[in-house]
Copies of this chain bind each other. A is one copy, B any other.
Amino acid sequence: MNMRAKKITVLGDGGWGTALSILLAKKGVSVNLWSAFPENADDINKNKENTRFLSGFSLPENIIAMSDIREAVSNAATIVVAIPSHFLRRSIKKIKQVDFSGRLILSVVKGIENDTFKRPSEIIKQELGVPAVAVLSGPTIANEVARGLPAGCVIACEDTAAAKRLQAVFITERFRVYTSGDVAGVELGGALKNIIAIASGISDGLALGSNAKAALFTRGLVEMKRLAIFMGADPETLNGLSGIGDLVTTCISPYSRNRRVGQDIARGKRLPDILNNMEMVAEGVETSRSVYSISRKNGIDMPINEQVYEVLFKGKDPRATIMELMLRESKPE
């Protein structure tokens, strides 16, 4: 158990998984970084850089990349899950038989599963049969965290003691970690904000200015809270770092892939072309599809998501969507 205590496994070598590995390694932790691509794992170990998903950062010696997921999790006290949401369930199934008792599992995945409408932590819990899965979310653009710029995030867990242990694992002078008991609220903020980021990108692509973007942001947050309430979260959580905070950074950062999807589509590109040209995943695209189904089925008023969905999947003219949003009946706020 002592060897375990100092070892953390990060599942997923995307930008965020890699940035968190760097942060942990710099704190002296030994990190197993699992990649779904054997050639990537080799490349990382050879070059001490993740050239594919987070280039420009040299990885400390105590990060070891590996491509066998069972080997990667075998001797770690803490497992950080950083797998894109639509690969999550099939990846996690591969470690079903491993004994996770006494270990901490933390998800940093942002999305909602298409058909089941499950949050990532629910999928992990279900597949692994563990009692609790913590989540970490907030305004944490990977590139900036890897550069050591200041950032703050929230770790939520039903098990308060586990949240505090994880807080101690991740906190640094520049990476501030708050704790929360509202797993659903923290997780939904991270997933839903990607939809508003796409809308915000559409607005940018049409050069509609800061006022329009601010209005989308504000009304978008109202929509996010509506769905969060329906899904059992505390809407107040959406006012925190994992809601508003993450929404701000995604809407303004040049690194936001979801914002870029919206921008490209507003400039006339086709969705399949945009996604084919992206090395990484824009989670908001699939989340928008899930949210469209949930909101339709349950009569939840989510006009921004509805417009984003129709632009992404129904070929609707982006300019028409914005005008439709603006022309909704004026009423008390």
Contacts and interface: CB of A to CB of B under 8 A. Distances in A.
Interface string A195-222: 0000000000000111111110110011
A221 B239 contact: yes
Given A150-B215, A210-B139, A215-B150, A239 B241 contact: no
Interface size class of A (residues with CB under 8 A): 35 or more
Interface string A69-85: 00000000000000000
B213 A149 contact: no
Copy number of this protein in the oligomer? 2
Interface in A96-151: 139-141, 144-145, 147, 149-151
A180 interface: yes
Interface stretch (A9-17, A23-31, A323-331): A323-331
A60 to B, nearest CB: 21
Given A240-B218, A244-B218, A211 B180 contact: no
A330 B221 contact: no
Interface stretch (A247-255, A281-289, A306-314): A247-255
Contact of A151 (B152, B173, B215, B241): B215
Contacts of A218: 139, 152, 239-241, 244-245, 248
A213 B249 contact: yes
* Residue of A152, A210, A322 most packed against chain B (CB within 10 A): A210
Contact of A211 (B149, B171, B210): B149
Given A180-B332, A180-B333, A211 B326 contact: no
A171 B328 CA distance: 12
B211 A140 contact: yes
A330 B171 contact: yes
A178 interface: yes
A217 B333 contact: no
Given A167-B330, A240-B333, A333-B179, A152 B213 contact: no
Interface string A222-261: 1000000000000001011100111011011101000000
Nearest to A215: B152
A215 B139 contact: yes
B149 A208 contact: yes
A192 interface: no
A150 B210 CA distance: 9
B244 A211 contact: no
A332 to B, nearest CB: 5
A210 B249 contact: yes
A154 interface: yes
A163 B167 CA distance: 48
Interface string A156-179: 000000000001000101101111
Given A178-B330, A178-B331, A217-B248, 14 more contacts: A144-B209, A144-B210, A144-B212, A150-B326, A174-B326, A178-B332, A179-B330, A210-B255, A214-B248, A217-B245, A218-B244, A218-B245, A218-B248, A237-B333
